[in-house]
Structure 1
Amino acid sequence: MHSPIFSMLNFFDAHLKTMMRSNYFPRFIQKWRSCLHSDKLSKLDNFSPTIIRSQIQMDKSNELSLLTNALFKTLTAPEGKIVEFPELENTHNVQNTDITQSIQSEKTPLVINIFDFDGTLFSSPEPNPAIWENKLVGHLKNENVIFKGWYQDRRSLSFGNQDRLNNRWNYKLVNIVKNSMKAENTLTVLLTGRNYDEFHELITEMVERKGMRFDVMGFKPTNNIIDWRLYYKPNIIEKIGRDMYEKLIMNQTITGTQKLTTKEFKMHFIGDLISHHPPPISINIWEDRPNHFFAFEAYLEKLKSLGKIKEGTVHKVFLSKNFLEPFREYDIVMGMIKDHNYRSEQINLGKIGIVRKIQYAGIFFDQQVIDKLKRIYPPPTVNREWVFDGPYVLIKKNVSNEWLKLHCEGRGAIVTMKITGFGIYQNRIYCLQVSEYENSLEKTPIGMRCGKLFSDCPVPFINFAYVKGTEGFINTENINFNWIKYDKQIVVQGIIAAKYILGLE
């Protein structure tokens, strides 16, 4: 036969949630329950249990007896009556809150995993700098300069056949998302600066096709109001319960009157999300943009110092760029510019015109010459594959046809040069040093103009090969090599040509 105290304990457990909802008992009742569950008790007369071992440091020797009497008064009081306990004023602070926290955390995620979309989870296309000049690329990406902007225009994520998306997903991160989805104590969040009205259906469909179901999906609002009814997804009910879900979706946040940048929006969003779910043990953010990465690191450190989170980590992500098919990208950009110019007066922005410009001029070689150079001057052996992608000698960037005519005899002129040595830049770019051949005119085919070797680089060279998976020079004009001379120096010819690009008028 069970003792009265254990019978009362069972009764208390059975009615705990009801009493919590009724709000007619104070927080110290939880402390009484903690005492009974976490300590070994021995039954004594007068219904006064004695503590044999306790994790709770009692302020007074009779504290448990006071709590027991208070519980008895609560359970025997008429239904709905508010019971007060003035004798327990000094015992109101609960020192051991393990039970309280476990009750709160049963339906509250303790880990929040936040995933950026563009360039992090998915290699989204962006304007190709091989087609558009850098200034125009900057305009296309800036929604404050051009109507909508690339990342707010639905066409930037229009692919047609979904099979074309397979090589764009970051599968390592996709697996992390799926593991996060399965964790009961974890919120899985997608957070993007793309506009809700334009993209929420499209991106939701894309991620669900890959088997990802997020608890929260955050998109930048149109009207500076973060309406959480749009962002909390019904599948989160399995983790937090319907009551809490219904409460959370009632929240709205006004972020101000000024249009927010993506970084500012994400800061507001994360701050509000954290306030909905106290206390998250840790927050993880996956992000690709360097300025966002450092801003989020500083923000999480601030939250830690304020005691709002215990841990916060930002994970840097790098995905290789993956552009659209050039003709499709051209159609998208020209459509964006057409829409912008049509609305330019309404949105108080000037019209945009596109012209063809010379991105750079160089001396280029036919395939026969390239094969000869590869055979005679092969690059050194490396762990990865060398790529020969249109070797050329850089003459100058952003030049005019008039300048080329004045300094090099213009496009179409033949330049005769001698290979004198080689150099390797950062173990990833292989270049061949060249100098002008003394008898160039004699070597020039009949009917062709004899061009001059000219380069903005300190020493003219052929940008010959690069290691697969690496990028080329950022600024070739300031590159200096430790050139190694060749004993065998052959003579080759190339033609002056220009790489054209589309830019602002």
Structure 2
Amino acid sequence: MSILSFPLPPVHNANSPSAAVDKIKSLHVYDFDNTLFKTPLPNPQLWNGPTIGTLSNQETFVNGGWWHDSRILAATGEGIDIEEKRAWDGWWNDKIVDLVKLSMKQKDALCVLLTGRSERGFAELIKKMVTAKGLEFDMIGLKPAVSPSNQKFQSTMHFKQLFLGALMETYKQAEEIRVYEDRPKHTKGFRDFFAEFNRQQNISPTRGPLTAEVIQVADCATTLDPVIEVAEIQHMINIHNEMVSKQSPRGRQNRLRIKKTVFFTGYMIGPEDTKKLIKLAHIPPNMPQHELKYHGNNILICPRPCPASILEKVGGMGSKMKWEVVGTACFENSIWAAQLRPIPQHAKFHTDNPSPLVVLALKKGIRPMDAGKIQNWQPLPPERSFVFETVVGEKVILRIEAEDPREDEYESLFANKTSKRKHNGDEDWNQRNPHGHYSGRNESRGYHSGGRGGRGRGNRGGRGNARGGRGGRGRGGGYSYRSLDDVEPKNQQGGYGPQVDYDDAYPPLSKSNNPPVSAPSGPSQGRQPPRGPAPAQRRPMGVQAANNNSDLQHYY
């Protein structure tokens, strides 16, 4: 196997048992990312849409970003030291692996791995990965820094087309070429390229036309362990900022920072209790499931970041409290909720609604704040009532922005600059929400006109949550598959945890009425997550869906 950068050598790899150049009849070319290997992508449950675009943009980071920093790929699973020994088991597209092995056995076929990843940054790592899996490619093509004419490639597609052109011109006796690709955009690009190549060969032949087939592969995107992902990106930012500090002031790039956007603060409910609560909702059996959104995962304290005074009253982040379900109700056949009371009944609490409640389900397009309009609650029979525990936490999503020395910690919680409060957050809350509901032994709830105050704030919370749900598809890149191959330079589940919930989506449930899968929530038992950039060697295990327990509180 040879690691090849551009231009393509005119001879076959001497170490390969395949036939000589003039004996090659078929060219089999495999893409790497999400075709052969289940490459981790930025997790849309962690990052807002613009940040996913930022991570994918090579020009934002001095060190290249998500697709150009080998630490990200090396962080797959439990890290290279462990994964190499078990050949990254579970991280390969097995169907494509089988096809590669068939190509290896075909004596008149040239087996090629072609990727837009850089030769300088990824040659050694990718060679280790395919060798560990027992895959023997005759060539591995990686993108060099410049083209043969000493110019930057217009795009990775430009590089791949030049590579494929050189491949076909080198192996002139090849009668067919097959390319395996996961992205429809690139599939079309390759098909158009081969059609034009054959058209030119019919007009002015240099080797004659050949049968070209581009096979569209279903992409198999995965994500890293959430803790590892944030740690690696923080490390990437640290390196970027260090390199920026050494740049001349005139051409200096922005220093970057991970910030969080808080959609609301609430008493967060665990997934098992969420399931029990949702079963209390009397949803008509003929109600189409696709019209419903299931919640049941929090009791709203306040929208947006919680002012310090209220946070102190509820015991601070991570404080636990017990509640008893005492009633249920439905408002206009569009929103279902459960009425609660604290245990013990004299316990202090704060809620943004006229009385403690949890939204169980609602029709799409209905605002959660409308639950505050419920006045007639149906008492729950004693045998159906139960007690559950909550933890004070936040609904958040992370973002990467330029450092702003004028921005204080509170202002950094708002992605929209116009939403930032320019004065004390507690004073601002008191001015805007004089009827917030706070209860205790010696305090009374402001029921009079409290519904309006609660609903007004709840409205913003509801919209904030909706924005969170769309975060992964927001401007700046979105969660369509975006990789190094797509970047042009300068263009471009209800959860539960002790402190923070990163899953900002409430997916519709199946007909079984099971609640949504929990988002990353707390540290796994028996494992303490790292409190800084990930260690250079061993890393905790990665996952193929971000629904494991992970504590990300230390990374923003």
TM-score, scaled relative to structure 2: 0.49
How far does residue 282 in structure 1 lie from its aligned partner after superposition? Answer: 2.2
In the alignment, is residue 301 of structure 1 matched against residue 187 of structure 2? no
Aligned counterparts of 1:415 and 1:500: Cα–Cα separation in 2: 27
* SS at structure 2 position matched to 1:284: strand
Distance 1:393 1:420, change over 3 A: farther
Aligned counterparts of 2:127 and 2:304: Cα–Cα separation in 1: 46
Greater helix content: 1
Counterpart selection for 2:140 from 212, 217, 226: 217
* SS at structure 1 position matched to 2:185: helix
Distance 1:106 1:502, change over 3 A: closer
Counterpart selection for 2:70 from 154, 164, 180: 154
Counterpart selection for 2:49 from 106, 130, 134: 134
* SS at structure 2 position matched to 1:192: strand
Name the residue aligned to 1:208: 131
**Same amino acid, percent of matched pairs:** 25
Once superposed, what is the RMSD of the aligned Cα atoms?
4.8
Name the residue aligned to 1:122: 37
* SS at structure 2 position matched to 1:165: coil
Aligned counterparts of 2:219 and 2:354: Cα–Cα separation in 1: 38
Aligned counterparts of 1:212 and 1:378: Cα–Cα separation in 2: 55
- Given that 2:175 and 2:210 are in contact with CA atoms closer than 8 Å, whether structure 1 keeps it comes out as yes
Aligned counterparts of 2:56 and 2:162: Cα–Cα separation in 1: 22
How far does residue 149 in structure 1 lie from its aligned partner after superposition? Answer: 1.6
Name the residue aligned to 1:192: 115
Question: Match for 1:191: what amino acid?
Answer: L
Distance 1:265 1:392, change over 3 A: farther
Unaligned runs of 5+ in 1: 1-103, 226-252, 381-387, 424-431, 455-459, 464-475, 480-486
Distance 1:258 1:477, change over 3 A: farther
Aligned counterparts of 1:488 and 1:342: Cα–Cα separation in 2: 61
Question: Match for 1:447: what amino acid?
Answer: K
How far does residue 497 in structure 1 lie from its aligned partner after superposition? Answer: 4.8
In the alignment, is residue 356 of structure 1 matched against residue 260 of structure 2? yes
Aligned counterparts of 1:315 and 1:149: Cα–Cα separation in 2: 29
Aligned counterparts of 1:314 and 1:394: Cα–Cα separation in 2: 52
* SS at structure 2 position matched to 1:167: coil
Name the residue aligned to 1:451: 352
Distance 1:502 1:214, change over 3 A: same
Distance 1:340 1:442, change over 3 A: closer
- Given that 2:114 and 2:140 are in contact with CA atoms closer than 8 Å, whether structure 1 keeps it comes out as yes
Name the residue aligned to 2:269: 365
Name the residue aligned to 2:396: 500
* SS at structure 2 position matched to 1:353: strand
Name the residue aligned to 2:509: none
Aligned counterparts of 1:275 and 1:106: Cα–Cα separation in 2: 11
Paired residues for 1:195-274 under 5 Å:
195-222=118-145, 224-225=146-147, 253-254=148-149, 257-274=151-168
Work out the number of aligned pairs and report it: 331
In the alignment, is residue 434 of structure 1 matched against residue 349 of structure 2? no
Question: Match for 1:499: what amino acid?
Answer: K
Aligned counterparts of 1:447 and 1:185: Cα–Cα separation in 2: 77
- Given that 1:357 and 1:502 are in contact with CA atoms closer than 8 Å, whether structure 2 keeps it comes out as yes
In the alignment, is residue 327 of structure 1 matched against residue 227 of structure 2? yes
1:78-98 deviation line (CA, Å, top 9, x unaligned): xxxxxxxxxxxxxxxxxxxxx
Distance 1:218 1:175, change over 3 A: same
1:19-69 deviation line (CA, Å, top 9, x unaligned): xxxxxxxxxxxxxxxxxxxxxxxxxxxxxxxxxxxxxxxxxxxxxxxxxxx
Distance 1:122 1:364, change over 3 A: same
Aligned counterparts of 1:266 and 1:360: Cα–Cα separation in 2: 46
In the alignment, is residue 144 of structure 1 matched against residue 59 of structure 2? yes
- Given that 1:126 and 1:156 are in contact with CA atoms closer than 8 Å, whether structure 2 keeps it comes out as no
Indicate the structure whose relative CO is greater, using CA pairs within 8 Å and at least 6 residues apart: 2
Distance 1:393 1:276, change over 3 A: farther
Distance 1:368 1:277, change over 3 A: closer
Aligned counterparts of 1:278 and 1:478: Cα–Cα separation in 2: 64
How far does residue 361 in structure 1 lie from its aligned partner after superposition? Answer: 6.3
Determine which structure has more spread, i.e. the larger CA radius of gyration. Answer: 1
- Given that 2:274 and 2:297 are in contact with CA atoms closer than 8 Å, whether structure 1 keeps it comes out as no
- Given that 1:108 and 1:278 are in contact with CA atoms closer than 8 Å, whether structure 2 keeps it comes out as no
Question: Match for 1:342: what amino acid?
Answer: E
Question: Match for 1:131: what amino acid?
Answer: L
Aligned counterparts of 2:255 and 2:275: Cα–Cα separation in 1: 47
Paired residues for 1:14-53 under 5 Å:
none
How far does residue 153 in structure 1 lie from its aligned partner after superposition? Answer: 1.3
TM-score, scaled relative to structure 1: 0.53
Paired residues for 1:70-149 under 5 Å:
107-146=22-61, 147-149=63-65
How far does residue 179 in structure 1 lie from its aligned partner after superposition? Answer: 0.7
* SS at structure 2 position matched to 1:286: strand
Aligned counterparts of 2:164 and 2:351: Cα–Cα separation in 1: 64
How far does residue 178 in structure 1 lie from its aligned partner after superposition? Answer: 1.0
Distance 1:219 1:105, change over 3 A: closer
Aligned counterparts of 1:183 and 1:326: Cα–Cα separation in 2: 41
- Given that 1:440 and 1:450 are in contact with CA atoms closer than 8 Å, whether structure 2 keeps it comes out as no
1:477-504 deviation line (CA, Å, top 9, x unaligned): 699xxxxxxx999999988852223322
Name the residue aligned to 1:392: 297
* SS at structure 2 position matched to 1:355: strand
Distance 1:297 1:391, change over 3 A: farther
Counterpart selection for 1:317 from 214, 217, 234: 217
More displaced 10-residue stretch of structure 1: 162-171 or 364-373: 364-373
How far does residue 128 in structure 1 lie from its aligned partner after superposition? Answer: 2.5
